[in-house]
Amino acid sequence: MQPSPALAVSELPLHPQDELECRRCDVHCDKVVYPAACLERACPFVYSFEEHGHTYIGCMQKVFGVEIDAERLRAAERRRAGFGAVRAVRPPLPMCRVEVDTCYANQADELGCVNPEFHELPRSRPSFRVFAQVRRGA
């Protein structure tokens, strides 16, 4: 499988783990967050409002861009599969439950991901460090 013509492998970003989506091959991966975890973890950025007799919740930091009916979320969480994930539209916060959702896993080639650092969770600093040793006067 060849990288798409629009994005050559040489165009990998400096911090791919901080991106929200990866389209560098035909697999197409997205970072997703779990809104139910926001409630479980008592995230300080969850807000709620009432409209038309329903209570909706959302994220003040807009990590996810949708507002969800709180009663339907609770009902879904009582089922085995739970409510599930929504696509992250902004960088997740440290308290967010984040995963990478692979859309077309069957289109992966035998070499694997062309952007493996994308699957790392965002961090405040790079996931690796480069050290150089300089020898003086050989």
104 or 42: which leads in pLDDT = 42
Looking at the domain assignment, is residue 132 inside a domain?
Answer: no
Looking at the domain assignment, is residue 126 inside a domain?
Answer: no
Range of the domain at 98: 16-106
135 or 31: which leads in pLDDT = 31
- CA atoms of 3 and 46, how far apart (whole Å): 38
Among candidates 72, 89, 71, 82, which has minimal Cα distance to 32? 89
The confidence score (pLDDT) of residue 104 equals 77
Q: Which residue has the tokens 């783990």?
A: 17
Instruction: Count how many domains the chain has.
Output: 1
Looking at the domain assignment, is residue 29 inside a domain?
Answer: yes
122 or 57: which leads in pLDDT = 57
* Cβ contact 75:86 at 8 Å: no
Flag whether pLDDT at 91 surpasses 70: yes
The average confidence (pLDDT) of the chain is 80
